[in-house]
A and B are shown apart, each in its own frame.
Chain A
Amino acid sequence: MKWGTLDMQSKTSLIKSEILKTIFRSVGWVSIVYFLGLFFAIPLDIIMNSSGEQRKFLDIDNLFQYNFQLQFIFSISVPVALSVFLFRFTQVKQYSDLMHSLPVKRESIFHQYALTGIMLLILPVLLIALIILVLYQPMNLQDFYSMGEILNWVGITLLFNIVIYLTGVSVGMLSGLSAVQGVLTYIFLLLPVGLIILVSINLPFYLFGFPGQYYMTSKFEKFSPLIAFTQMNMRTPSNVETAVYLILIVSLYFLGLQIYKRRRMEAVSHALVFPITKPIFKFGVTFCTMLLGGGYFGEMQGGTSWIIAGYVFGALIGYAAAEMVLQKSWRVTIHVKGLMVYTAIMAALFLLFQFDLTQYEKSIPQSNEIERVHFSESFHLYNDIDHEEPLYLKEYENIDLVRRFHEKIVKDENRQAQDSGRGSVFIVYELKNGEKLVRDYSINKREYKPYLKLIYESDEYKMATNEIYQVPEDETTKITITPSGPVTKRAVITDKEELKEVVQILTEEVDTASYEELQGIDEPYAHIEIYYNDSKKAYMTWNPSYTRFEEWLKEKSLLNDAKVNSNDISYALAAKAEDIDINFAAGYSYEEVFEKMTESKSSIKITDKEQIESSLGNSNGYIEGDYIIAFYFDEQRTMDIKSFTEKTVPEFIKERLQ
């Protein structure tokens, strides 16, 4: 291929066998080490775990799963090491003078070195694949994966290795120091991801509503081969990814070649060979450390003064470090002019975002532009991997409602800053023109209850968030009601008529549930699973507000099995929270609390069934109240611990604890 065409060009730019020889002499060992490492990681592992007993515990369905950490370490280090050692001759002055006084064109030198390097990466992988192929039949590897997996492994490993290697080569052409080449290579490989993280942390400080997490988490790994490789034991790269990497390989190769051809050999031993890259590097580092400093202080301390202090501090450290690298000395001279220009640009950027000159904060699409809108309390509900499709509202009224709510939040921006509340709102507008507008706010939910109530109580929202609406009454086959609590009992309904009734009742209960009831912090009585259409299953909880459902269960004598009651409990212990010697904020276990309550003289024991029943009804699932109550469950010999507030505590407990 490449070499063949070179042969044609002229007699003097033939590949020189002695150049290939010197390449093998100087970096052949890298290839050998890589081979041995891979041999240790894969074929040896296959052989050592070949007994029937060991095979039972093997959970392997592709080749990456053999010592994946080792393979990962090799794939990120070997190509970079190879690129550094291979191009040593561009980083050592006398070596460079020797090589570049030879009657060989630079282009030819580059092709010979770079391609031989690729070969040195390919050979060990192919050899290992060959060994595995030989082992495939005798070791019965078909029990774990098909032969195609071997090819897959070769392809993916080489794809990543070569991308990383050629990044190292291209960076090496920019730098005159091997150490800088190595470090810069990794910086480049991580740069896109790093920048996304830094920007996502910093922009929310200025842009009210900027969904940092959305940008940080979505398709994050695709922007760095190093991070993408960590997933190769679980997934194969998509076609698009593969294509991008292939394009990267070709472009990096020719980029490296072009840079090498333009490289001035006198700049060997300078950190950066091309003068124009120096300010880019210097201010690039300054910018990144500035964002890092501001982001760190902003997250840890909060407040504008801390953020600014973080910026100044980060920028100064980054600037000094970059200058040290460039000037190769601890004592650096500072060029004030450059620094001033940088400060001016940063100030302009600050103003741009701080005063929202881009209109980012105020831009809310018109209702008629919106196709549909996702509205939830967290990015994670949008990006939930278990659900294929997140919730969307499509009805005009609801879209308009979300929009108006959004407007209100934006209008209240200054108030939010002071009391960034406990709740958050995550909105994704999908516009008719295909664009997306994503916002993330942290708000005080109580203040916006009217809006939230309207949205949550809307039919569309309820339909979208409750699976019960998908259940056809006639095709329901079974319903199980599992009480929440340490009991093994449960209620099961299979009668056709009864099933129909329950589904109707439950649907009505959800229909009529108010925002307050839906948002209530009460623990659900039970978890309900509704089986329908043979294999499908809908899931919901029994909210304490569903009283008609409770009555129905009572009528059918199912209540006892559907809900924890005093029959499950042999006794309860109650005490004032302050009397129990436990620091709840620091973490605790139920056993610990129970033990302390048993020992405590100030706690009381309740055995009366009626009193237990009323305690069950009034207590709350969180250990936050003024009174703590521990229920002892006979059946599993475990306890459940709940609490009362001053308001909900039953009279008899209050009296006895006086």
Chain B
Amino acid sequence: MIKIRNVRKSFEEMDAVENVCIEVNKGSIYGLLGSNGAGKTTLLKLLAGIYAEDEGSIAIDGQPVFENPQMKDKIFFIQDHPYFLPQYTVKQMAQFYKNIYSMWDEGRFEELAAIFEMDLHKKIHRFSKGIQRQAAFILALSARPEVLILDEPMDGLDPVMRKKVKSLLIDEVAEREMTILISSHNLREVEDLCDFIGIMHNGRMILEKDLDDLKTDTHKIQVAFKGSVPAIFDSLKILHKEKRGSIVICIVKGDAKEISSYVEQFKPVIFDMLPLTLEEIFIYEMGDIGYAVQNILD
């Protein structure tokens, strides 16, 4: 659904986004990760049609976004610091968006306002940061967008609210195949939410992963053999290997069943296959990209 191809965006002399390609399918949740200044916000604003790309193309359902109201009508962007029209109340903002977004759902708005126990008649700029963010979610979801773009959305929400928001988002995706792009510094914050992960560093996309694949594809095995270790590792896809006494621990990629049946052939004394946390997968998988990955794992 979303196709970003070879996009470049520079600010004066500096390239903020360089040669980035992303594809996001309808109904999936894409997590954009990266350290400060990596270019996440810039990429999201390009996608939201706020900035014009210098090179490459950005299209949703084959149509460009920039200056294309029909397309933008289906997109809702929540900024990293939610912003509302000056002096507006939530109710007034709702009226505003109702007039602007054709898919606005007033019933949904009332429902969400009730869920969040939102005071509709107070000026939004008087709310605390977290409540403002809740207001932004209420408004965004009521606009019934096909694509929801969230720039660091969990920032400032308490754990209870995070959970509530996440489950709302997941429901919405499941229910009507909404597509979500979400940026964050922190993998753990979004790992339970995202299907896909893209890691940006210095304006470039350095890694893109399907999280489900990643979890089912990577395994940690512990094996021990009587006597010398047979040459089994040559034909396995090993990401990492270490020896503790007679036990060999390695991280292997591949189908779990295939791996275990292959290893069993050599009659190991000990053979365990352990699940990996996403964090471990990233560390093993991308040891060389060091800093960038380290950062999102904190």
Contact = CB atoms under 8 A, between A and B. Distances in A.
B232 interface: no
Interface residues of A, number: 27
21 contacts: A10-B69, A12-B70, A16-B99, A18-B100, A19-B99, A21-B96, A22-B85, A94-B81, A95-B86, A96-B50, A97-B83, A100-B49, A101-B48, A101-B49, A101-B50, A101-B76, A103-B70, A103-B75, A103-B100, A103-B101, A264-B51
Contacts of B71: 103
Contacts of A264: 51-52
Interface in A80-109: 94-98, 100-106
B50 A22 contact: no
A98 B81 CA distance: 11
Nearest to B50: A100
B99 A94 contact: no
A587 interface: no
A56 interface: no
Contact of B12 (A17, A21, A22, A275): A275
B100 A16 contact: yes
Nearest to B42: A266
Contacts of B11: 266
A13 B45 contact: no
Contact of A95 (B52, B83, B98): B83
Given A97-B79, A101-B77, A103-B100, A12 B48 contact: no
A387 interface: no
A101 B47 CA distance: 10
A344 B10 CA distance: 32
Contacts of B48: 101
Interface string A2-45: 00000000101100111101100110000000000000000000
Contact of A265 (B51, B69, B73): B51
Contact of B96 (A12, A13, A22, A106): A22
Given A95-B83, A266-B11, A103 B99 contact: no
A26 B86 contact: yes
A97 B12 contact: no
A308 B248 CA distance: 84
B191 interface: no
Interface of B: 11-12, 45, 48-52, 67, 69-73, 75-77, 79, 81, 83-88, 95-96, 98-102
A94 B69 contact: no
A103 B69 contact: yes
B220 to A, nearest CB: 44
Nearest to A265: B50
A101 B87 CA distance: 19
B100 A94 contact: no
Interface in A95-126: 95-98, 100-106
A100 B46 CA distance: 11
Contacts of B51: 264-266
Given A94-B79, A95-B86, 4 more contacts: A18-B98, A19-B99, A97-B45, A101-B76
A29 B12 CA distance: 38
Contacts of B12: 275
Contact of A106 (B67, B79, B81): B67
Contacts of A275: 12
Interface of A: 10, 12-13, 16-19, 21-22, 25-26, 94-98, 100-106, 264-266, 275
Contacts of B67: 105-106
A101 B68 CA distance: 10
A101 B145 CA distance: 13
| Residue among A17, A98, A106 having the largest count of chain B Cβ atoms under 10 Å | A98
A332 to B, nearest CB: 16
Given A103-B72, A265-B51, A98 B96 contact: no
A17 B99 contact: yes
Contact of B72 (A16, A97, A101): A101
A26 B73 CA distance: 25
Contacts of B88: 22
A21 B49 CA distance: 24
A526 B66 CA distance: 84
Given A18-B99, A22-B96, A97-B79, A102 B85 contact: no
B65 to A, nearest CB: 10
Contacts of B52: 264
Nearest to A13: B69
A104 B50 CA distance: 11
A106 B51 CA distance: 12
B83 A105 contact: no
A19 B202 CA distance: 38
Nearest to A22: B85
A97 B136 CA distance: 14
Contacts of A103: 69-73, 75, 100-101
Given A97-B45, A264-B51, A12 B69 contact: yes
B83 A98 contact: yes
| Residue among A101, A103, A275 having the largest count of chain B Cβ atoms under 10 Å | A103
Contact of A104 (B81, B85, B87, B100): B100
A25 B123 CA distance: 14
A266 B100 CA distance: 23
A16 B96 CA distance: 9
B79 A98 contact: yes
Nearest to A106: B67
Nearest to A261: B67
A105 B79 contact: no
A102 B145 CA distance: 12
A16 B45 CA distance: 23
A105 B100 CA distance: 12
A104 B67 CA distance: 8
A17 B100 CA distance: 9
Contacts of B101: 103
A255 B79 CA distance: 31
Given A94-B83, A103-B69, A18 B49 contact: no
Given A97-B79, A97-B83, A98-B79, A104 B69 contact: yes
B67 to A, nearest CB: 6
Nearest to B71: A103
A92 B153 CA distance: 21
A103 B76 CA distance: 9
A353 B3 CA distance: 61
Nearest to A270: B12
Nearest to B85: A22
A101 B79 CA distance: 10
Contacts of A95: 83, 86
Nearest to B16: A266
A46 B71 CA distance: 57
